[in-house]
Chain A
Amino acid sequence: MIKRFTIVDEAGLHARPASLLVQKAATYPNDIFIEFNGKRLTLKSIMAVMSLGVPQNSVIAIDVEGENDADIMAALEKVLVDNNLI
């Protein structure tokens, strides 16, 4: 399942919320990816997420593969909302 989000935080997808997002993603056995600017990397890696350097007002896609994808997506979306990223 793929869902797109526009990052509104003025610092973009910055380190602290990014790390919370990664921590959340790491709790699931599924493969989870983040796509931005033509790159597709695992959302379970803080290095990967930060290396994307996502700035404000850009669109990222999150791709959750496998079982319970909707629930996992909802949990990840909650992290984005709680941190005022989207």
Chain B
Amino acid sequence: MSMKYSGIGASAGIAIYPVYKLIEVDLTIEQQSITDVKNEVARLENAIKTTSKELQTIREQTAISMDEEHAMIFDAHIQIAQDPEIMRQVQEKIEEEHVNAEYAYDHVCQMFIAMFEGMDNEYFQERALDVKDVRRRVIAHLLDVPLNDPSLINEKVIVVAHDLTPSDTAQLNKTYVKGFITNIGGRTSHSAIMARSLEIPAIVGTKHITDEVNDGDLVILDGLTGTVIIRPTDVEIEEYRAKQEHYEKQVAIWSKFVNKPSVSKDGKHVEIAANIGSPDDLDAVKKYGAEGVGLYRTEFLYMNNDNFPTEMEQYKAYKAVLEALPNKKVIIRTLDIGGDKHLDYLPMDAELNPFLGHRALRLCLERTDIFKTQLRALLRASIHGDLHIMFPMVATLNEVRQAKAVLETCKAELHAEGIACKDDVKVGIMVEIPAVAILADQFAKEVDFFSIGTNDLIQYSFAADRMNQKVSYLYQPYNPSLLRLIKMVIDASHEAGIWTGMCGEMAGDKLAAPILLGLGLDEFSMSATSILQTRYIFSELTYSEMKAMAETCLTLDSHESVQEFVEKTIKGESK
């Protein structure tokens, strides 16, 4: 029997290969009394010499297999390995306490690790990882234990590990390592970023995958969905081989669209931007050549924190994104918390219907202290690029006016304090509540742009909780009722001389995107990995074809009939 397992898809692609488990070797250290101090110091020096040599080799390999930037990680490792302060302290400990070298070395490293981990700064916390990595190597050499070395892999495998250290990841040889799966990590963890730059599929955050597989077990790794199938059946293997072949063909086609403008077959230009959750996602934005950021979800700044991020912390994050994308539009959404997203440090009342409750802008308008900190940080960052501020979960005109008033207050405060900010920062709203879509003509007079948030707009339009499996069939992005609602919003915005974008799943959906373009949507924002595919889809159809298709869709009677119609039309046109 096969077994399905799921994690976070960290790098796209499909791989079907046997498992190679990278198991932590036992590096248990015992304290021993020694008499020959000289010999212990010599052992230490030897281990450090060997480690440095080894790191130098890995550094050179990495420069070839990846690039100079990744290779530089190992310069830092070499520096740590050869650090005179560590050496001095270890030597002192050996001499004064007559303990064995591994015990003394471990003790000193642990002290530095604890020190770095205790610093309230991500950079230093990463240095703790570097020290751990170096420590592991030196200790292994002292104990004469061979490290489980991924560079020794010489057949095609999928590496399964609890976690991958930077030196593990760097040693993964793309010829043999066809993917990896780890217990821990998220989309922006070090190993996930490395997997994307190596372009091998990867899944992280599976929690217990190492307990579920044995060396040599065949697994299917689907980095697109985060699915792992352990010991798949022949039918599953066949199914995924087909998927893999299809995906690889597509990737080859899509790759031609990197850094290309997004245009229809007949030259109509649209804007395709990326959704991001942190400055770490910028690599992908640049890699695919997005035409801006259509949605920066600032809640992650709050969720990855144990207290409200300060104005300075927020300013730095916003500035990083704005500076990284000069001359490109960056839409930053104010705090969208509540519903399914909570902050440990912000107690909220239990609500019967949290998605219909006290969340996002509603909460910000009540807690103006939180709101103002964010708006001030945004305004301060505005001088570094083309910032657009967007308010989520607007239901009434009054809310928009209140939010704008708070923004104006912040501007006035900053002026009074002599802090620079732009006067004409563009302000927009998310259209995700049907009441706003219907009154879009009035809202258009108040703001500079709209961005349709489809996940919520769909759940509110169909009165169906998107977390509830039993009503998941009511998630109907192609339903003509929703398409008509979207058309109303787009038309109203154009009437008022402003533009409408979309930053939901739907914008990057291969069937929905051409309909939306046909309806006149001005901007599409999606996860960076969907950008090339969408550019490709647009390039295969003319604007008039998409317009005609969209018009027909508005007259159909159901989600299914739209889906069927679009599938047929697109196939007909692109062949």
Contact = CB atoms under 8 A, between A and B. Distances in A.
A52 B79 CA distance: 17
Contact of B115 (A14, A42, A51): A51
Contact of A23 (B79, B131, B316): B79
B119 A47 contact: no
B76 A50 contact: no
A51 B123 contact: no
A72 interface: no
A14 B79 CA distance: 15
Given A41-B85, A42-B85, A47 B80 contact: yes
B84 A45 contact: yes
Contact of B79 (A10, A19, A42, A53): A19
A67 B103 CA distance: 38
B20 interface: no
Given A41-B85, A51-B112, A51-B115, A46 B79 contact: yes
A55 to B, nearest CB: 10
A42 B124 contact: no
B72 to A, nearest CB: 9
A64 to B, nearest CB: 16
Interface string A36-78: 0000011011111011010000000000000000000000000
Interface in B60-113: 75-76, 79-80, 83-86, 88, 112
A42 B86 CA distance: 11
Interface string A1-43: 0000000001100110001001100000000000000000110
A44 B86 CA distance: 11
B79 A50 contact: no
B79 A15 contact: no
A4 to B, nearest CB: 22
A19 B86 contact: no
Contacts of B75: 19
B116 interface: yes
Nearest to B131: A47
Report, as a range, how many residues of chain B touch the other chain: 10 to 19
A48 B85 contact: yes
Contact of A47 (B85, B121, B123, B316): B85
B127 interface: yes
Given A19-B76, A22-B79, A50 B124 contact: yes
Given A15-B124, A42-B84, A42-B85, A47 B76 contact: no
Nearest to A12: B121
Contacts of B115: 51
Interface in B275-325: 316
Contacts of A48: 83-85
A15 B84 contact: no
Nearest to A14: B123
A53 B86 contact: no
A42 B88 CA distance: 10
Given A19-B79, A23-B79, A53-B119, A45 B124 contact: no
A50 B123 CA distance: 11
Contacts of B127: 15, 50
Contacts of B116: 50
Contacts of A46: 76, 79-80, 83
B112 A47 contact: yes
B125 to A, nearest CB: 11
Nearest to A53: B119
Name the residue in B79, B85, B88, B115 with the highest tally of chain A Cβ atoms < 10 Å from its Cβ. Answer: B85
A47 B124 contact: no
Contacts of B76: 15, 19, 46
Contact of B84 (A14, A19, A44, A51): A44
A47 B85 CA distance: 7
Contacts of B88: 42, 45
Nearest to A55: B121
A12 to B, nearest CB: 9
B358 to A, nearest CB: 36
A45 B123 contact: no
Name the residue in B75, B84, B115, B131 with the highest tally of chain A Cβ atoms < 10 Å from its Cβ. Answer: B84
A50 to B, nearest CB: 7
A45 B83 contact: yes
A6 B79 CA distance: 26
A15 B121 CA distance: 11
A10 B83 CA distance: 26
Contacts of B112: 47, 51
Interface of A: 10-11, 14-15, 19, 22-23, 41-42, 44-48, 50-51, 53
Q: Which 5 pairs across A and B sit closest by C-beta, in order of nearness?
A: A45-B85, A48-B85, A47-B85, A47-B83, A45-B84
20 contacts: A11-B121, A15-B124, A15-B127, A19-B75, A19-B79, A22-B79, A42-B84, A42-B85, A42-B88, A45-B83, A45-B86, A45-B88, A46-B79, A46-B80, A47-B80, A47-B83, A47-B86, A47-B131, A50-B116, A53-B119
